[in-house]
Amino acid sequence: MSDRRQTRSGIGYDVHQLVEGRKLVLGGVEIPFGKGLDGHSDADVLSHAIADAVLGALGEPDIGHYFPPGDASIEGISSLEILAKVAEVAAGRGAEIVNVDSTLVAEAPKVLPHAGEMKEKIGAALGIAPGRVGIKATTNERMGFPGRGEGMAAMAVASVEVG
């Protein structure tokens, strides 16, 4: 194996159910909406997919390894803290996060008005410029659980340089 740095990619996917009585947090931003995502943490489906993408690029286990859902000490944790831990894991491996790109799948709410703030918060947590964070959203054309408004899904890809 050479001493050159390698660019590696990883993918992430996450899904959470929408429920009454929870805040909706996406990309570290609280978004006004009638329901929130259910989960042990703040259930930020977008940040979770990004975290798993970075961990995958590093060849590491998923976020459940670092933040077990049964661990009472991290109940309600901000997913920005999860992203910061992922950046710490990357730095510990001598890796640099190059960029992340993500897509939220949900019928509502509209994400575009919040995308700039999401990029700022995700970038800060990962230690990268906001311009290296891609955020897109799409509907599921009223099909399946996202289409019925029962939950949200997110997909992400990350590139890291390791060496």
Domain boundaries, the chain: 6-162
- Residue 69 — pLDDT band, cuts 50, 70, 90? confident
- In 3-state terms, what secondary structure has residue 74? helix
SS3 string, 118-158, reads: HHHHHHHHHCCCHHHEEEEEECCCCCHHHHCCCEEEEEEEE
Q: The dihedral of CA 12, 102, 35, 25: what is its sign? A: positive
Give the C-alpha separation, 149 to 147, whole Å: 5
- CATH code that applies to domain 6-162: 3.30.1330.50
Alpha helices in 13-139 (DSSP H): 45-58, 63-66, 79-92, 115-126
Mean pLDDT, the chain, as a whole number?
94
Counting residues of the chain whose pLDDT is more than 70, the rounded percentage is 98
Query: Looking at the DSSP assignment, which residues form a beta bridge with residue 8?
Result: 160
